[in-house]
Amino acid sequence: MRIHWRLILAGGILLPGAAVLGKTDTLTQSRPPVFEELVNCRTVADPTARLACYDDKVAAIDEAEKSDELVLADKASMKEARKGLFGFSIPKLKIFGNDGKEEEDFELVAKIDSAYMANYGKWTIVLEDGARWTQIDTTVLRKNPKNGMEVKIRAAAMGSYFANIDGQRAIRMKRVN
């Protein structure tokens, strides 16, 4: 299994910080220094010194991970994180496992936990993971959304999303939490 190493800035939350990082974002362009030092141990010629280098750097990585300065994630956990962020307007950073690709190729399939009619006949649905989506068009559904129904959500134009609830025609929605 290939492991992805990403450094999370200590003492801050990534999403608000990502907006100020701009186009020269070092999170998407380089490895964390503690990992780079481990990789550099390969260049040590003497086998005993190389082993000592590896032992030292692995201990540093272990300590960084335990103190939350370094976060380890495999592709499956990054995909799960990306799924949880689906529908939010966030920067396209490598750290989310999408390498700058748009969300349009992604479709979320989930079950509805609850649904209620909101402003002016528009539906709000809450998925089992707690994500709340609100209808932003005036399309009328032939069957009201209910607990347990399946919903498929995919990206649409202008930052909105199409949701097909229980196989019905799509309604336009946006994520609100």
On whether both 91 and 132 belong to a single domain, the answer is no
| 59 and 91, same domain (yes or no) | yes
Kind plus residue range of the DSSP H or E element containing 35? helix 33-40
Q: Looking at the DSSP assignment, which residues form a beta bridge with residue 164? A: 152
Are 73 and 4 in contact by the 8 Å Cβ rule? The answer is yes
Are 107 and 149 in a shared domain? yes
Tens digit of pLDDT for each residue in 81-139?
666 667 665 555 555 554 545 444 578 899 999 999 977 889 999 999 899 999 999 99
| pLDDT band, residue 70 (cuts 50/70/90) | confident
Looking at the structure, tell me whether residues 18 and 84 fall in a common domain: yes
Number of domains in the chain: 2
The reply to whether 86 and 123 lie within a common domain is no
CA-to-CA distance for 84 and 11, rounded, in angstroms?
22
Q: Is the domain of 86 the same as that of 118? A: no
Are residues 23 and 72 located together in one domain of the fold? Answer: yes
Within this chain, do residues 75 and 136 fall inside the same structural domain, yes or no? no
Please check whether residue 131 is in contact with residue 91, taking contact to mean a CB–CB distance below 8 angstroms.
no
Q: Which domain holds residue 151?
A: 103-175
76 shares its domain with 134: no
Residue 88 DSSP one-character state: S
Same domain (yes/no): 54, 126: no
Of 68, 96, 124, at which residue does a domain stop?
Answer: 96
> What pLDDT band is residue 31 in, cutting at 50, 70 and 90?
confident
Q: Which of the listed residues 96, 129, 162 is the one where a domain comes to its end?
A: 96
Q: What is the mean pLDDT of the chain?
A: 77
* Phi, psi dihedrals of residue 171, rounded to the nearest 5°: -115, 150
> How confident is residue 12, by pLDDT bands cut at 50, 70 and 90?
very low
Do residues 154 and 118 share a domain? yes
